[in-house]
């Protein structure tokens, strides 16, 4: 079939490639949480935009961008919830109410618990805000060998979607979806990918993250943060023997409910204070500071932090971190 026969252009989204097979989406069943699942470069974000455009005139929508590596609604390492705006509900990206969750990494690998919790907290918040349909864009980590199946199943169990839409080229998602065909816990919709989806290179993905970080920090400034004034949540680094903070490390400022208020980049570490480069203007509503698992250089290129275990010490400020290149084996974020 020719590409021209496979594509329809959705009004308002110039060049959006829509396969005709997507016409079999059961529109009347798309209520509650609708989770979109697929490997890297299968058109998940394109499908989300298509669903939004079709549903927005009929019900109140929200979208959760849960792809921490290739985020489109927020900076990398975060998950973002946006409600449709009341003035222009069809607009995408939407400009309604917003909330974010800090995972602190560019891949769910090694961070599966905060990844799953974040999706649950954001979808629950969307329900409280009155969303009738919540579209969830997930990461491309689906391979059983790296925990992708376990991750998606955990999301199914905790978030309890009404509909799961699966995009696959051939049968690469069979280990993930085969057990659910007969369970009938949710409506399972299996769709082909668009033939016009383009595979992005590792360098393109890195460049995308750089661009998103640069955009996020464009109005940032240095802020002095007294360490004793806030809880320091260091779930990943606690096993290394204490609190790990190094220059360049990404951190998240959290409110009392655990949602992200702003990201920051550690610039200087003192005995009592740290200087953080952040768009946050004051610390009035900050309840906790959560260190991330990456560092950013001056060009906003990310590197993954690795930690060597040391003997526990409550006063530890540096637990021998090492830096490595982005995990090239990660399906969602090379």
Task: Give the tens place of pLDDT for each residue, 27-77.
Answer: 999 999 999 999 999 989 989 999 999 999 999 999 999 999 999 999 999
- Reported as a pLDDT band with limits 50, 70 and 90, residue 229 is confident
What is the pTM (predicted TM-score) of this model? 0.86
Q: Compute how many other C-beta atoms are within 10 angstroms of the C-beta atom of residue 312.
A: 12
Taking domain 3-192, whether its CATH number is 3.40.50.300 is answered by yes
Token pair recorded at residue 245: 């903070």
Contacts of residues 210-213 at CB distance under 8 Å and 24 or more positions apart, as own/partner, are: 210/299, 210/300, 210/301, 210/302, 212/71, 212/74, 212/75, 212/76, 213/75, 213/76, 213/296, 213/300, 213/302
Domain boundaries for CATH 2.40.30.330 within the chain: 203-324
203-213: pLDDT as tens digits: 999 999 999 99
Residue that wins the pLDDT comparison between 161 and 271: 161
pLDDT for 66-81, tens place per residue? 999 999 999 999 999 9
Fold of the domain built from segment(s) 203-324: Elongation Factor Tu (Ef-tu); domain 3 (2.40.30)
Say how far apart CA 265 and CA 248 lie, in whole Å.
6
Which tokens hold the place of 215? 């955009």
Burial profile 122-145: b = 16 or more Cβ within 10 angstroms, e = fewer = bbebbeeeebebbbbbbbbbbbee
Q: Tell me where in the chain the CATH 3.40.50.300 domain(s) lie.
A: 3-192
């Amino acid at each position: 079939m020719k590409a021209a026969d496979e594509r329809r252009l959705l009004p308002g989204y110039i060049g959006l490639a829509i396969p005709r097979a997507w016409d079999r989406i059961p529109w009347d069943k798309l209520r509650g949480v609708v989770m979109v699942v697929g490997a890297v470069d299968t058109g998940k974000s394109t499908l989300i935009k298509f669903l939004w455009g079709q549903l927005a005139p009929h019900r109140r929508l929200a979208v959760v961008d849960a792809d921490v590596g290739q985020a489109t609604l927020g900076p990398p390492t975060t998950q973002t919830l946006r409600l449709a705006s009341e003035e222009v509900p069809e607009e995408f990206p939407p400009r309604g109410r917003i909330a974010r969750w800090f995972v602190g990494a560019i891949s769910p690998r090694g961070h599966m618990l905060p990844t799953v919790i974040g999706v649950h907290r954001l979808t629950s918040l969307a329900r409280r805000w009155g969303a009738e349909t919540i579209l969830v864009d997930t990461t491309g980590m689906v391979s059983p060998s790296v925990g992708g199946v376990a991750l998606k199943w955990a999301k199914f169990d905790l978030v309890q979607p009404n509909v799961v839409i699966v995009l696959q080229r051939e049968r690469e998602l069979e280990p993930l979806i085969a057990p659910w065909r007969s369970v009938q816990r949710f409506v399972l919709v299996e769709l082909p990918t668009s033939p016009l989806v383009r595979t992005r290179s590792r360098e393109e993905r890195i460049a995308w993250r750089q661009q998103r970080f640069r955009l996020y920090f464009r109005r940032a400034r240095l802020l002095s943060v007294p360490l004793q004034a806030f809880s320091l949540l260091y779930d990943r680094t606690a096993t290394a023997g204490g609190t790990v903070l190094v220059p360049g490390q990404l951190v998240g400022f959290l409110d009392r409910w655990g949602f992200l208020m702003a990201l920051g980049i550690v610039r200087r570490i003192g005995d009592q204070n740290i200087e953080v480069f952040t768009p946050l203007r004051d610390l009035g509503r900050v309840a906790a500071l959560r260190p991330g698992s990456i560092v950013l250089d001056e060009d906003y290129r990310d590197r993954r932090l690795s930690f060597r275990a040391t003997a526990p010490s409550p006063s530890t400020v540096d637990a021998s971190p090492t830096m490595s290149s982005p995990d090239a084996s990660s399906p969602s974020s090379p």
